[in-house]
Chains A and B, each alone.
Chain A
Amino acid sequence: MKTSTFARHLREGVKNLGRNGWMTFASISAVTITLLILGVFLLLAMNIQHLVQTVEKQVEIRVSLDVTADQATAKKVESELKKLPDAAEVKYVPKAEGLQNLKKSFGEKGALFNGLEKENPLPDSFIVKAKTPQQTGALAQKIQNIDGVKKVNYAEQTTKKLFAVTDVVRFVIVAFIIALAFTAMFLIANTIKLTIVARRREIEIMKLVGATNGFIRWPFFVEGALMGIIGAIFPIVILTVGYGYLIDFVERQLALYFLDLLPMSPLAFQISLILLGIGAFIGIWGSLMSVRRFLRI
């Protein structure tokens, strides 16, 4: 395509926004409202996902050796554990450290364990984390088979329940987002369709004077993209400003330190990018779908 032709398409696309004033306004409003709802939901979903991940990450496997196992056995087991492809993190807890931890967990009564240092009844152990929390069960099975490992512990029942819940939460979130995105696309495509029906004549004339389908589509493509992008700006501003206030409110006013919201800095950027992308996509998709019907003249 010649650059002058491309410039013409851009110019026409921008001009058309003005020429079809009210219809443009209607389409942009439709994009704005649906993206606003979608954005609120995305923020919610991303924070829930974050929360779920935080909980899941706490799932770990405790691997104990025999009490009598020596340093060499511990080294051997450690290297075996590190070879496992699903293990993300292997931490060696020597028996002395294990005793320290035990004491600490008993607080003031920890003194009860004083004097055990010489005859430490605890075994050397490892704490292993799986690459994805869902692999924990399978990984525990494999570790059980390693020579020198005496006992493998992980909160089996709790973990299973936790994953059952988090899987449902994820499914619901994804289903909601897809449903919402589709609703948005059809709503917007319909609004744009109305604007194009009014321009049937223009397309008909373009075809009669020998315009190729590509030539006819380009300005609509530009117009759709612009409507989507303009429609995304308002929701982006509202959502980032609103989220900023929310973080501030939760942290300062409520002091809910356990409610760990995602920080503003990458999230605002991600949400803006997602909304711009979705906006442009549905704008383009909507206008190209609608123009397609009239190209068969």
Chain B
Amino acid sequence: MYLIEMQDVWKTYPNGTVALQGIDVHIKDGEFVYVVGPSGAGKSTFIKLMYREEKSTKGQIVINGSHINRLKERHIPYMRRKIGVVFQDFKLLPKLTVYENVAFAMEVIEASKKQIKPRVMEVLELVRLKHKARSLPEQLSGGEQQRVAIARAIVNNPDLIIADEPTGNLDPETSMDIMQTLLDINKRGTTIIMATHNKEIVNSVRKRVIAIEAGRIVRDEQRGEYGYED
């Protein structure tokens, strides 16, 4: 059973830029997939299509059995609740504590206070930040902030985690730590798609690699390597 199916997907931006052309890809439940390629090749667009931040101009995208291009505007929030997203710049709310930042994602889906507290503590423990629950993001290191973002992404038990350059702002050691956290989550059965420029990680932790260049998939290998010199 596939979690993600894309067939002949095209994306043209309103200004005429063709970002993706004829993308065909199938990703199974529980996989760990790297998305690599030069800057501006279409990696970000490819990823954004999956949680409907962008909408494809042509082709079909099925995630977990639903055609997400056919979703009505008001149904998009419910689709996003099954997807956790992690960014290069963490996107934490600076005025909320670590606990509040994670609990926020559960408040949004109208979970009760009784459900929220134990679950938030559970995921904070998973990312090893239980002791920092009351800190503000600015009091944490970059790696810790990214782990808070990951905790927020998994708190609602998503089927899929999408990570867009999650190690882009971090030093190599911290990057490996984040990678380890993601692998732990993957081991529990959550599918992970990670766009990255991190050659060391891709080459040392061998997983499926999808390479995108000029809007096309040029390579799709199990246990692939990074393949670029940057």
- On whether the two chains bind one another, the answer is yes
**Chain A 186-219 near chain B by CB (<8 Å), digits 1 or 0:** 0000000000000001101111111111010000
Q: When the two chains form the complex, which single residue of B93, B95, B109, B110 contacts A205, counting CB atoms closer than 8 Å? A: B93
Is the beta-carbon distance between B77 and A210 smaller than 8 angstroms?
Answer: yes
Is the beta-carbon distance between A202 and B93 smaller than 8 angstroms?
Answer: yes
Q: When the two chains form the complex, which single residue of B53, B80, B91, B93 contacts A210, counting CB atoms closer than 8 Å? A: B80
Is the beta-carbon distance between A215 and B108 smaller than 8 angstroms?
Answer: yes
| Least distance between A273 CB and chain B CB atoms (Å) | 35
The reply to whether the CB of B188 lies closer than 8 angstroms to some CB of chain A is: no
Given A4-B113, A297-B53, the answer on whether A209 and B108 have CB atoms closer than 8 Å is yes
* Chain B neighbourhood of A5, CB < 8 A: 110
The reply to whether the CB of A8 lies closer than 8 angstroms to some CB of chain B is: yes
| Least distance between A271 CB and chain B CB atoms (Å) | 38
| Least distance between B156 CB and chain A CB atoms (Å) | 8
Is the beta-carbon distance between A210 and B74 smaller than 8 angstroms?
Answer: no
The reply to whether the CB of A19 lies closer than 8 angstroms to some CB of chain B is: yes
Docked complex Cα distance between A201 and B105 (Å) = 14
**Minimal Cβ-Cβ distance residue in B for A20:** B95
Is the beta-carbon distance between A19 and B81 smaller than 8 angstroms?
Answer: no
Docked complex Cα distance between A181 and B81 (Å) = 42
Given A19-B95, A202-B93, the answer on whether A209 and B53 have CB atoms closer than 8 Å is no
| Least distance between B99 CB and chain A CB atoms (Å) | 15
| Least distance between B215 CB and chain A CB atoms (Å) | 23
The reply to whether the CB of A2 lies closer than 8 angstroms to some CB of chain B is: yes
Is the beta-carbon distance between B113 and A209 smaller than 8 angstroms?
Answer: no
Docked complex Cα distance between A19 and B136 (Å) = 14
Q: How many residues of B contact A (CB 8 A)?
A: 22
Docked complex Cα distance between A237 and B104 (Å) = 39
Q: When the two chains form the complex, which single residue of A4, A201, A210 contacts B112, counting CB atoms closer than 8 Å? A: A4
Is the beta-carbon distance between A212 and B74 smaller than 8 angstroms?
Answer: yes
Instruction: Find the residue from A8, A202, A208 having the highest chain B CB count within 10 A.
Output: A208
Interface residues of A in 36-95 (CB under 8 A from B): none
| Least distance between B108 CB and chain A CB atoms (Å) | 4
| Least distance between A13 CB and chain B CB atoms (Å) | 14
The reply to whether the CB of B107 lies closer than 8 angstroms to some CB of chain A is: yes
**Chain B 128-170 near chain A by CB (<8 Å), digits 1 or 0:** 0000000000000000000000001000100000000000000
| Least distance between A264 CB and chain B CB atoms (Å) | 45
Docked complex Cα distance between A43 and B162 (Å) = 60
Is the beta-carbon distance between A209 and B112 smaller than 8 angstroms?
Answer: no
Given A201-B93, A297-B53, the answer on whether A208 and B110 have CB atoms closer than 8 Å is no
* Chain B neighbourhood of A210, CB < 8 A: 77-81, 105, 108-109, 156
* Chain B neighbourhood of A211, CB < 8 A: 77, 108
Interface residues of A in 194-252 (CB under 8 A from B): 201-202, 204-213, 215
**Minimal Cβ-Cβ distance residue in A for B158:** A210
**Minimal Cβ-Cβ distance residue in B for A12:** B107
Is the beta-carbon distance between A209 and B110 smaller than 8 angstroms?
Answer: no
Docked complex Cα distance between A86 and B104 (Å) = 64
* Chain A neighbourhood of B110, CB < 8 A: 2, 4-5, 215
| Least distance between B50 CB and chain A CB atoms (Å) | 12
The reply to whether the CB of B33 lies closer than 8 angstroms to some CB of chain A is: no
Given A201-B93, A297-B53, the answer on whether A208 and B112 have CB atoms closer than 8 Å is no
| Least distance between B113 CB and chain A CB atoms (Å) | 7
The reply to whether the CB of B193 lies closer than 8 angstroms to some CB of chain A is: no
Is the beta-carbon distance between A209 and B74 smaller than 8 angstroms?
Answer: no
Q: When the two chains form the complex, which single residue of A4, A19, A209, A297 contacts B152, counting CB atoms closer than 8 Å? A: A209
**Chain B 90-106 near chain A by CB (<8 Å), digits 1 or 0:** 01010100000000110
Docked complex Cα distance between A213 and B76 (Å) = 10
* Chain B neighbourhood of A209, CB < 8 A: 80-81, 104-105, 108-109, 152, 156
Is the beta-carbon distance between A208 and B80 smaller than 8 angstroms?
Answer: yes
Q: When the two chains form the complex, which single residue of A4, A19, A212 contacts B77, counting CB atoms closer than 8 Å? A: A212
**Minimal Cβ-Cβ distance residue in B for A202:** B93
A residues at B contact (CB < 8 Å): 2, 4-5, 8, 19, 201-202, 204-213, 215, 297
20 A/B residue pairs, CB under 8 Å, sorted by A: A2-B110, A4-B110, A4-B112, A4-B113, A19-B95, A204-B91, A205-B91, A207-B77, A207-B80, A209-B81, A209-B104, A209-B108, A210-B80, A210-B81, A210-B105, A210-B108, A210-B109, A211-B77, A215-B77, A215-B108
- Given A201-B91, A211-B77, A215-B108, output 17 extra A-B contacts at Cβ < 8 Å: A4-B110, A4-B113, A8-B107, A201-B93, A202-B93, A205-B91, A205-B104, A206-B104, A207-B77, A208-B85, A209-B80, A209-B81, A209-B108, A209-B109, A210-B78, A215-B77, A215-B110
10 nearest A-B pairs in the assembled complex, by CB-CB distance? A210-B81, A210-B80, A211-B108, A209-B105, A212-B77, A210-B77, A5-B110, A209-B108, A208-B85, A205-B91
